[in-house]
Amino acid sequence: MIVINARFLTQPITGVQRFAIEISKIVKKQLEGEVVFVTCPGVIHYELFKELDAKIIGINKSHLWEQIDLYVYLLKNKKPLLVSFGYTGPLYYKNQIVSIHDVAFKYYKETFSKTFSLVYNFIVPRLAKKCVHIFSVSESAKNEVCKELGVEGDKITVVYNGISSFFKKIDKGKTIKKHAKPYILTVSSHHPRKNFNRLIEAFKRIDNDKIDLYIIGNFVSHFSDSTNDQSNENIKFLTNITDNELLGYYQNAELFVFPSLYEGFGIPVIEAMSQNLPCVLSDIPVFKEIGDKSVIYVNPQNVNSIKQGIIEGLKLNVKKIEYTKLNHFTWDKSAQRVIQVFKKNKT
């Protein structure tokens, strides 16, 4: 039996949860009868809960559930292989594979809530050394995990994020929505390292009131609010957007801009690429890894660099761009890598 820590069923969906959800759905189908999904009370994704045939165990929630209820469950069930897709798991359980998506919790301690920062900086480094294997989402992130957590590279398997199936829709009639003006798009949860303030300042310096900036993303409780300027009428903040709505926003945008200061991967980048959008990205290592020569790279620390990147992107004559690396980023390929690691470590 392989036990999958499905605490992601109780959490709002960001990149970490998307990774867990998409991989879990494929694993469930391909390893039917070999995997068990367990979670704590407080499930919010009910359809997925049913699809995975997950079960609620214990009475605690969050990290306390992992350290007590989940740990006790594993001991009672002959210490099976545990898979934790979201950074944390029972600290004293060795027979475990854990996903460490990046080391932002170390690089940007001050931008998280004190509780989040303390918990992650205590648990993750210790778990990284104790567990039997680690998944990371890019070569760039893998190198940082090795460096910052003191883990050997052969203990880590890179498993890229993929493009969700709803982004492959051909019928745009269901997703197209008319907008009053053309717009530039960025997509991410609000966090200081997403660099929204510099993006907003760069957009204002363009001095073009014929185009809007759409910022799609929710505010997350354990992230500090990094976005100070919400008063400009040409800047639209959109939250709680459905998958179909999100696809429509990608399909109708003039340009995708993502000047993040740091990422382990960056799912919105490949989502935008899947819709052949011109992309302006930070010149950070991971975007060089997943992007290609068609991307416009900018210095995320420099407002004028971001501004010039936007201007250059808007001048592109080609509305639709073909990105050569997209076939690397599929959930099916990623799930196969995960399953291979399962088989090597299952006892």
Helix runs in the chain, H state only: 15-30, 46-51, 62-64, 71-76, 104-107, 114-130, 139-149, 196-206, 243-252, 267-274, 285-290, 303-315, 331-345
pLDDT at 209: 84
Query: Among positive and negative, which fits the CA dihedral 109, 114, 115, 118?
Result: positive
What pLDDT is stored for residue 205 in this prediction?
93
pLDDT in the model for residue 299? 97
pLDDT at 40: 97
- Express each pLDDT in 233-268 by its tens digit: 889 999 888 888 999 999 999 999 999 999 999 999
DSSP 84: E
User: What is the predicted pLDDT for the residue at 222?
Assistant: 45
Q: Which long-range contacts (CB under 8 A, 24 or more apart) does 77-82 make?
A: 77/1, 77/3, 80/1, 80/2, 80/3, 81/1, 81/2, 81/3, 81/132, 81/342, 81/345, 81/346, 81/347, 82/2, 82/3, 82/4, 82/5
85 DSSP 8-state letter:
S
* End-to-end CA, the chain: 9
Please give the model's pTM, rounded to 2 decimal places: 0.90
Give the residue from 99, 90, 95 showing the smallest Cα distance to 79: 95
Nearest-angstrom CA–CA distance, 232 and 217: 17
DSSP, residue by residue, 236-297: EEE-S--HHHHHHHHHH-SEEEE--S--S--HHHHHHHHTT--EEEE--HHHHHH--TTSEE
Report pLDDT for 59: 96
pLDDT of 121-145, one tens digit each? 999 999 999 999 999 999 999 999 9
pLDDT along the chain (347 residues), means of 10: 96 91 96 96 97 97 96 96 96 96 90 88 96 97 96 96 79 58 91 91 90 86 50 85 90 94 94 93 95 92 97 80 89 96 84
Structural domains of the chain, ranges and CATH numbers in brackets: 2-162+330-345 (3.40.50.2000), 165-327 (3.40.50.2000)
Distance CA 160, CA 19 (A): 9
Residues 193/261, Cβ–Cβ less than 8 Å:
yes
d(CA 76, CA 62): 20
Radius of gyration of the chain (CA): 20
| SS3 label, residue 117 | helix
As given in the structure block, the two tokens for residue 242 are 């459905």
**Residue 173 is which amino acid?**
G
